[in-house]
Amino acid sequence: MEKFSQYRDKGSGIAPFLPIPPEPKGLQLPFHIFLFVCRVPLLLIFAFSYFAFLQWMPIGVFGRKASLWCILGIPGIWWIDLQIDGVKKGSLAQNNARLPQDGSIIASSRASPIDALYLAAIFDPVFAATYPYTRQVEPISLFQALVRSFTHPKLHPSRGANLVDLDVFLRRNSNRIVVVFPECTTTNGRGILPMSPSLLTISARTKVFPVSLRYTPADVTTPVPHSYYTFLWNLCSKPSHCIRIRIAEAVYNISKRQIDPAIAKSSSLNANYLDPLVSDGAASDADTLVGSEEGEGPTTKEERAFLDRIAEALARLGRVKRVGLGVKDKVDFVAMWTKSQKRR
């Protein structure tokens, strides 16, 4: 993989776009083949039934969540390790306010199609696609969110796309949680990419919950486009998978001019001690990691600090580092990766 060394972060050496190789099966290969053969037909049939029929039927929130949990359970995704900042294990019932609620935003890491599926099974949210050079988002369905985990990264929305400010989209869906993936593309889960500027349009009162999802084994990530067969094999050939989900305290967009003093104070108190503190006389140490200044990127110190807080929270929750590589770098990486695969 030395020929892809240019797509390693210069500071940390992390290569966020390289696929994670699966563990060797050895003598257990026949057992893994048996699991794969048994699970794939069930998974495809149930997924087709849900996305083609069940999701359009009046089955309610409980019915949708139950159906999605069945899809997750077929390949053995039933070990969930959930932790919330500031909440001790066993006391979640007394701290519901620390969970995303209707009218709030989840800013999630993005490494696998399972991200969107799991969040839908837990929160029943609506989804919006983000882009690196615009502050607007594109409303998408759960199925589109899954498919985008396998597609080529996009620097710009498609021509004719239905774009809207995130704050406007949130008001239109005030009775739902909105999920965005601010990295704008998938990674292998080993680094956090620069944030999309789309989060800068929300009001100062809107709660943004950074959410990190990591997987064991980690080879169910899809950093390379069109890895359908590899993903299915890694997903369905193992006895079980574990999802490690971490939810940070809410972050507020204090870059807005009209700021409620109570909100600003709350955001300051809720900031984790590991989050970067930006002084009045100096710019953020991670200015290059909060999104490109091309297009509609962050233009003020406050905007950069807001995106910094979200990115730092995602990195801390996932126990990884932020990287300077972005969507443009992944586009170049995918082109080189595709050429190298054709030569084999």
Domain ranges of the chain: 79-87+97-265+287-338
Alpha carbon 104 to its chain centroid, in Å, reads 16
Asked if 202 and 170 touch (Cβ cutoff 8 Å), the reply is yes
> Which of 63-98 are b and which e, b meaning 16 or more Cβ less than 10 Å from the residue's Cβ?
ebbebbbbbbebbbbeeeeeebbebeeeeeeeeeeb
Instruction: State the pLDDT at residue 253.
Output: 94
Token pair 């807001």 is found at 306
| C-alpha–C-alpha distance, residues 1 and 54, integer Å | 44
Class of residue 325 by CB neighbours under 10 A (exposed 0-12, middle 13-18, buried 19+): buried
pTM reported for the whole predicted model: 0.88
Distance, in Å, from the CA atom of 219 to the CA atom of 230, rounded to the nearest integer, reads 9
pLDDT tens-place values along the chain, 344 residues long: 567 888 999 989 999 999 999 888 888 999 999 999 999 999 999 999 999 999 999 999 999 999 999 999 999 998 889 999 888 777 776 778 889 999 999 999 999 999 999 999 999 999 999 999 999 999 999 999 999 999 999 999 999 999 999 999 999 999 999 999 999 999 999 999 999 999 999 999 999 999 999 999 999 999 999 999 999 999 999 999 999 999 999 999 988 755 445 554 554 445 444 444 333 433 334 444 555 556 677 778 999 999 999 999 999 999 999 999 999 999 999 999 999 887 76
**DSSP H or E stretch at residue 287:** none
Q: What is the pLDDT of residue 280?
A: 40
pLDDT at site 290 = 58
Rounded CA separation 93/292 (Å): 40
The helix/strand/coil state of 78 is strand
